[in-house]
Amino acid sequence: MVLTAAEAEALRRPAVARLWSAEADAAPVEGASGPDPLEAAGPLVRIRRRADGACGFLAADGACRIHAEHGAARKPLACRLFPFSLRPGEGAALVTASFSCPTVAANAGAPLTGQIGELQALGKEWRRSFPEAAWPLRFTAGKPLTGAVVGEMRQALMGVLQRRTQDGRRDLRRNTARLCALLEDWTRHRVLKLPADDFAEYVRLTGRFAVTSDKPVPPQVPSRVGRLLLRGFLLAVVAARLQAEGPRRGLRLRLRARTVRVALHLHGLWAPAEGVDRRAVRRVRVSLDEPAIEALVYHFLRSALETLPTGRRPLLDELCFAYATLETALQLAAMRAARAGRETVAAEDLLAGITQAADLAQTAGDGALEGFLRTLTGGLDAARSFAHASSGA
């Protein structure tokens, strides 16, 4: 959690600083002068994490010590805003929610509509503390969009995702195949070269056709390169977890060795390591006919489409990132179920997989890691993998 200068000063005051601990179950000691609870983060500072990667202000019961002793208002702004993010755009700021929060992933908790007033107040405070210009809306790199065209795209994609079969069910895999076909059409060279008004008209007509047409769209098999890149995305998620659990300083040779073992296993050159077992992905079944599983997957995809685009990435890249996250979550869920001796993925397995996979998107930032992860999605191959197979293995 990155802090403002005022927040850093407040957290270093003895009454708050004494709440920081290197151990989750260690009780604060009155008058104790422990280590500095903050550390450098480029030009700013952030809360120092414990050896296990958790916030040093986190108690063993999962509660925030600052919140418990001094109230929610004394917590840093980023903590108070989580799991929401505010991104400037055309008109009102876009509000997104991170699926690294289990409550968001489970579609539980207070509805967003009931938190508008609080979010508006936090948004004003956020813009004062972290001023940010509105990011441009883009479909792909070099293809700008207007808000009206974004609305047409979002409406078409949501309509495709929500299509139902004759018996009233949503077939999310078949709908994803249709969604891929629509996006492939929109990204054809001749279509991208259309003038803005013609492109908008093309999106409107083809989008409405995709929502209503009964013409079958066979799912395409993801390419070998795409499948390989998705393994890299899974490795990045696992590596992020290992880094959070690893030492904060030093050579961290053991951390690197653990990561290398996972990488070798994903390429069939090592035994299962660090809870990663590709054989479990083939062995454990993921059934979207299970209502609880289907509801979690639909909620994740619906949320991804409803918030397109944030401006952080081009719209197409954001959607590919969402499907790569989902595919990784399904694989993590299968591995978790296998460790528990189950032959099918349960809702709690998928919920845990989604929160772990989405945590990478929460921490990626906008630098080199973001660009690297964008490559690892493999473009639409992540969506094709979901449409074609049970877990993208």
Regarding predicted confidence, which is higher, 101 or 2? Answer: 101
> How long a stretch of residues is the chain?
393
pLDDT of 325 strictly over 80: yes
Contact yes or no for 319/372 (Cβ under 8 A) = no
Regarding predicted confidence, which is higher, 77 or 371? Answer: 77
The reported pLDDT for the residue numbered 375 is 85
Percentage of residues of the chain with pLDDT beyond 70: 92
Count of CB atoms situated within 10 Å of the CB of 273:
18
Percentage of residues of the chain with pLDDT beyond 90: 56
Q: 392 falls in which pLDDT band (50, 70, 90)?
A: very low
pLDDT of 357 strictly over 90: yes
Contact yes or no for 45/8 (Cβ under 8 A) = yes
How many CA atoms, within 13 angstroms, populate the side-chain half-sphere of residue 247? 9
The reported pLDDT for the residue numbered 341 is 95
The reported pLDDT for the residue numbered 284 is 94
Among the ranges given (22-31, 57-66, 279-288), the one the predictor scored with the smallest mean pLDDT? 22-31
Q: 228 falls in which pLDDT band (50, 70, 90)?
A: very high
Q: Which residues on neighbouring strands pair with residue 44, listed in sequence order? A: 41
Residue 331 CA, chain-centre distance (Å), reads 15
Distance CA 279, CA 89 (A): 44
Distance CA 153, CA 207 (A): 7
Distance CA 320, CA 324 (A): 6
Distance CA 217, CA 91 (A): 37
Say which DSSP state 93 is in.
Answer: P
Q: Residue 171 has which token pair?
A: 């077939």
Instruction: Give the DSSP H or E segment for 41.
Output: strand 38-41
